[in-house]
Amino acid sequence: MELNLEEALRYAGVPSPPPAELRRETAEVAAGLTAAVTPRWRWRLLSLEHTAEGPYLPELDLLLPGRTAALMLKECAQAALLACTLGAVFDARLRALQARDMARAVLLDGCGSAWVEAGCDAAEEEISGRLPGRFLTDRFSPGYGDLPLSLQPALCGALDAQRTLGLCVTDSCLLTPGKSVTALLGVADRPQMARVRGCRYCSMNQTCQLRKGGKSCGLS
């Protein structure tokens, strides 16, 4: 697992290429973080049915509404459900650093976002390794496209995420601890095209500061 510094700096509001001094400081923050906190994840394989109302997960009795899920899962008969988190220990570090040094805290916050993404990448590799001969779609999460945040409680419940990861959902469908991700990956029998990783599919596409400046976050 590797924390992508450029990505961390972008999350902290510093475009590429970053000033050398900030890059050095971020590398320091990242080294401290990766030594102390390891992303944890859980996943499970679910069967998937296609109904008139959209893709349906029978084990969870859960319908995935909207265009995003339908498009992503079009060719899939199964889906992997993934949750990944840096845990409450990251939040504690971020709180402590905010009290000492807000500038550095912003860098840590960016590093945390990049680190949980690195965890998701590693989880995706693990899933892929357990499903030889099958092909995964891009991973996509509640909040991307039109996949609603209101799915979070059901997705976390399906992974027993409080017990297995210490991951909870608030009444407003916010994941706690802060650096946490839930995602779905379709499992298909033939290679899947990349779809999610572009601004068109991102729920931030009207508000993204990078996009307003004519740039992208690099995920496209």
Per-residue contact string for residues 139-168; x = within reach of another protein by CB under 8 A: ----x-----xx---x-------xx-xx-x
Beta strands in 48-189 (DSSP E): 49-51, 54-57, 62-63, 76-85, 135-136, 168-169, 175-176, 180-188
In whole angstroms, give the CA distance from residue 8 to residue 22: 11
Residue 119: half-sphere exposure toward Cβ, Cα within 13 Å: 25
The SS3 call for residue 163 is helix
107 binds another protein (CB under 8 A): yes
Among 1, 2, 19, 218, indicate the residue that binds another protein (CB under 8 A): 19
Q: Which of 1, 2, 13, 189 binds another protein (CB under 8 A)?
A: 13
C-alpha to C-alpha distance for 182 and 159, rounded to whole angstroms: 10
Determine the Cα–Cα distance for residues 108 and 170; give it in Å rounded to an integer: 23
129 binds another protein (CB under 8 A): no
Q: φ and ψ at 55, to 5 degrees?
A: -65, 145
Contact between 20 and another protein per CB under 8 A: no
* 104 is a contact residue toward another protein (CB under 8 A): yes
Work out which of 171, 190, 194, 200 binds another protein, going by CB under 8 A. 171
- The residue from 39, 55, 145, 178 that contacts another protein (CB under 8 A) is 178
Distance CA 53, CA 101 (A): 50
Stretch that binds another protein, among 48-56, 67-75, 103-111, 194-202 (CB under 8 A): 103-111
Residues 6+ apart with CB under 8 A from 64: 54, 55, 56, 57, 70, 73, 147, 151, 184
Single out the segment in contact with another protein by CB under 8 A; choices: 47-55, 92-100, 114-122, 191-199.
92-100
Q: Is 109 in the site for another protein (CB under 8 A)?
A: yes
Which residues of the chain form contacts with another protein (CB under 8 A)? 12-15, 18-19, 22, 25, 42-45, 58-62, 87-89, 91-92, 94-96, 98-107, 109, 127, 130-131, 143, 149-150, 154, 162-163, 165-166, 168-174, 176-178, 203-204, 206-207, 209
